[in-house]
Structure 1
Amino acid sequence: MKIHPTAVVDPKAEIHETVSIGPYTVIGPGVKIGADSEIGAHCALSGPTVIGEENRIGPFATVGAPPQDIKYRGEPTELVIGNRNIIREYASLHRGTVAGLGYSRIGDDNLLMAYVHVAHDCVIGNGVIMANAVTLAGHVLIEDRSIIGGLTAIQQFVRVGTFTYIGGMSGLSKDVPPYVVMAGVRKQMRIGGINQIGMRRAGFAPENIKKLQAAYKIIFRTPDLLLQEALERALEAGENYPEVRHLVDFFRNSKQGVLRQVDGSDD
Structure 2
Amino acid sequence: MQATIEQIPKTKRMTHPYTYIDPNAKIAANVKIDPFTVIHGDVQIGEGTWIGSNVTIMDGTRIGKNCRIFPGAVIGAIPQDLKYNGEKTTVEIGDHTTIREFVTINRGTSDKWKTVVGNHCLIMAYSHIAHDCIIGNNCILSNSVQIAGHVVMGDWAWIAGVSAVHQFVHIGQHAYIAGGSLVSKDVPPYIKAVRNPLSYGGVNSVGLKRRGFELEKINHIIDIYRIIFNKGFNTSQALAYIEEELPASDERDEIVTFIRESGRGIIKKYASGIPEED
TM-score, length of structure 1 as denominator length? 0.95
Q: Provide the residue aligned with 1:194 in structure 2.
A: 203
Residue of structure 2 in register with 1:171 after alignment: 182
Determine the structure 1 residue equivalent to 2:81.
69
CA shift at 1:234, angstroms?
A: 1.7
Partner in structure 2 of residue 261 of structure 1 = 269
Larger Rg: 2
- Aligned AA (1:189): L
Structure 2, unpaired ranges of 5+:
1-12, 273-278
Query: In structure 2, how many angstroms separate the alpha carbons of the residues matched to 1:104 and 1:165?
Result: 22
**What is the rounded CA distance, in whole Å, between the counterparts of 1:239 and 1:129 in structure 2?**
32
Give the C-alpha shift of residue 147 in structure 1.
1.1
Q: Quick one: which of 26, 36, 45 aligns to 1:33?
A: 45
Out of 76-85 and 203-212, give the one that drifted further.
203-212
**After TM superposition, which residue ranges in structure 1, 4 or more long, deviate above 2 angstroms?**
235-240, 260-264
Which digits, 9 at most, give the CA deviation of each residue in 1:161-218, with x for residues without a partner? 1111111000010001111111234xx1111100111111111121111111111100
Deviation at 1:239, TM superposition (A): 3.9
- Contact 2:48 / 2:66 at 8 angstroms: preserved in 1? yes
Out of 110, 115, 132, the position equivalent to 2:143 is 132
Query: Percent identity between the aligned chains?
Result: 40
In 2, the alpha carbon distance for the partners of 1:80 and 1:181 equals 28
| Contact residue 105 and residue 121 of structure 1 kept, 8 A | yes
Give 1:228's aligned residue: 236
Structure 1: gaps of 5 or more residues: none
CA distance in 1, matches of 2:244, 2:64: 42
Residue 219 (structure 1) aligns with? 228
* Structure 1 residue 263 displacement after superposition: 5.6
Is the CA contact (8 Å cut-off) linking 2:157 and 2:171 kept in structure 1? yes
Amino acid of the structure 1 residue aligned with 2:194? A
Equivalence for 1:43: 55
One-letter amino acid matched to 1:177? P
Conserved 8 A contact 2:201-2:269: no
Given candidates 239, 242, 262, the residue that maps to 2:250 is: 242
Is the contact between residue 22 and residue 41 of structure 1 (CA under 8 Å) also seen in structure 2? yes
**8 Å Cα contact 1:208-1:241 kept in structure 2:** no
Equivalent position to 1:143, from 139, 154, 157: 154
The structural deviation recorded for 1:74 is 1.6
* Distance (whole Å) between structure 1 residues aligned to residue 251 and residue 271 of structure 2: 22
Number of paired residues? 260
Contact kept in structure 2, 1:44 and 1:62, CA below 8 Å: yes
User: How big is the shift at 1:236?
Assistant: 3.0
Q: How does 1:91-110 map to 2 (within 5 A)?
A: 91-98=103-110, 100-110=111-121
Quote the RMSD (CA, aligned, Å): 1.1
C-alpha spacing 1:170/1:9, structure 2 compared with 1 (3 Å): same
